[in-house]
A and B are shown apart, each in its own frame.
Chain A
Amino acid sequence: MDKPIYISALSLVTPLGNTIEQHFDAFENGISGIKIHEKAGFQQTAIPLAKREEITGNRYDTLLREALEKAKNAYPEISGKTAVIVSSTKGNIDLLPGDTFAETASIVHEFFPATDVLIISNACISGVIAINTAADYLFAGKYDQVLVIGIDAVSEFVSYGFQSLFALSNETCKPFDKSRNGTVLGEGCGIVLVSTQKPADFAVLYKGGSSSNDANHISGPSRTGEGLVRSIKKTFRRSGKKASDIDFISAHGTATVFNDEMESIAFGRMNLDQVPLNSMKGYFGHTLGAAGVLEIIMSIVSMEKNTLFPNLGFKETGTSVPLNIIQHIEQKALNTVLKTASGFGGGNASLILQKQS
């Protein structure tokens, strides 16, 4: 891990807007993309969703094209060997009963022709794994740059599934709060550039990352946070960092009772419980395969602006290990940031970003 690897944000499309500035404004003003949607749930029930209402056609294709268009404008000149890694849990669900990822590569090629397109579908940790994989490719010298696209769209399929698990909130998403009662599904597409060349725009350094499986249950989080602890330890080892180096944690925080409890235990075990932390699910909802990329983009914005954004929806400690949840917007020098994610299949992933000195 000797050569520097840079990450910069290229585009972000969610219910909060389609520019990074719009997202900064929303985060600064505590605006959430979540609304109650009548009849969106199973048997016409009302459920909260963070849905981009401008979209009328196929949600996945529209999100993907809009974000690619913006990325192409932000980064018109690609030189050197380029790959694109798409991170998504469900792809284009409307292609069922066929292959839900069948058209993804050709849509990417409309904007970035002649790039190698890879797809990672590893539940809610896909985004963090995709960026780790992009860095692995750069370390191996196979590519000069990788565009990582995180995307998932709202669908009946996933809403009904989360309803069947009783995992959805009936109002809004309150990560780590005492009264949290489930997650809220969201949609979005975010694109970052992972590169060995220093980009012209603001970029941070990728210092290392890893994943670890809980080896415990396919849908329930580990009671001990074992997988998350192991992933953070491995990421610390690979990046040469330790708990006391971390200025901010962008946590997963889905706002289900068990997930947030698990994360609090893991952060406690790693002596990270005093580090300022947020979950961004209160703004975006849970965007599944897009979540890691979206949250990394906003972490890069945090680092650029030296701003800690509040954990929207949090009022009162609701985990057995109290964490340092960010409640008010605050200026702070952010040099080293830890990003974590956990998901179905027992997966956990993490990575470390550092400001260029």
Chain B
Amino acid sequence: MKILAHSYVCPKGTFLNGKLVYNTAGEENPLKSAYQQLGAEYPKFYKMDVLSKMAFIGTELLLPFFPKDADLENDLQLIFANSSASQNTDNLFVESYEQLKNPSPSLFVYTLPNIVTGELCIRHKWYGENCFFIEETFNPAHFSEWAQMALNKGNNCCLCAWIEAKTNGEQECFLFLLTDSEKEAYSMELELSTLIKQYRNE
């Protein structure tokens, strides 16, 4: 298995294949700024929760690296994971009924972690398989297992993400595109753990 491309979105900036593409450090609204720098015309972006916004930006940047001959509409599997599910939006929704006395329907629909994969499928017309796992920490070996199982079933490639938006402000989205190759899974897993460390320390 090998990594075709990777991106990383967090408040300080957006990175593609290890390079900073949008510097948003110190911005009042970093994700809005990254979206505007990206220049995509997708007004729905503003309505999304933090998870979906980060994944939207990170995925747009990965588009040129998807395998050209793949049937992405059917054979792309999305494998996402985090530790906090939809915590950030969950707490905003609780606030809407406890403090504002009106449960907000537009917040409620984002109180599930897998809405982010739904948003990406809508944006890119992907009808393939999706799965959202909850894990304590980023575990490259698990992503490698899940991706291998997806490829075994006939999927062509996997868009994977470790994506977190916590109420304490911790936000990151590490996206990576995996496909089959001769390369040993172990070295790919090692590469993933090195990459996320580098991105976090940038």
**Residues of chain A whose beta carbon lies under 8 Å from any beta carbon of chain B:** 42, 89-91, 96-101, 118-123, 129, 133, 136-137, 139-140, 142, 156-157, 160-161, 163-165, 210-219, 226-227, 230, 238, 344-347
Contacts and interface: CB of A to CB of B under 8 A. Distances in A.
A160 B145 contact: no
Given A100-B85, A119-B135, A212-B129, 20 more contacts: A91-B134, A97-B91, A99-B85, A118-B133, A119-B134, A120-B133, A120-B134, A123-B115, A136-B152, A136-B153, A160-B108, A165-B108, A213-B118, A213-B126, A215-B126, A218-B109, A218-B119, A226-B127, A345-B112, A346-B118
Given A121-B134, A123-B112, A213-B121, A99 B127 contact: no
A211 B130 contact: yes
Contacts of A140: 145, 148-149, 152
B130 A122 contact: yes
B125 interface: yes
A122 B131 contact: yes
Contacts of B128: 212-213
A123 B134 contact: no
Contacts of B117: 213, 345
B90 A121 contact: no
Interface extent on B, as a size class?
35 or more
A100 B87 CA distance: 8
B138 interface: no
Contact of B149 (A122, A136, A212): A136
Interface in B47-84: 74, 83-84
Interface of B: 74, 83-85, 87, 90-91, 93-94, 97, 102-105, 108-115, 117-119, 121-122, 124-135, 142, 145, 148-149, 152-153, 167
A344 B118 contact: yes
Contacts of B111: 90, 157, 161
Contacts of A122: 113-114, 130-132
A134 to B, nearest CB: 11
Given A99-B85, A157-B94, A215 B131 contact: no
Nearest to A140: B149
Which 4 pairs, one residue from A and one from B, show the smallest C-beta to C-beta distance?
A345-B118, A161-B108, A213-B121, A119-B134
A74 to B, nearest CB: 26
A137 B150 CA distance: 10
A210 B167 CA distance: 33
21 contacts: A91-B85, A96-B94, A97-B91, A101-B134, A118-B133, A120-B131, A122-B130, A123-B112, A139-B152, A211-B129, A211-B130, A211-B131, A213-B129, A215-B122, A217-B122, A218-B118, A227-B127, A344-B112, A345-B112, A345-B114, A346-B118
Given A129-B131, A165-B105, A99 B84 contact: yes
Nearest to B77: A211
A96 B114 contact: no
Contacts of B127: 212-215, 226-227, 230
Given A123-B112, A219-B109, A160 B103 contact: yes
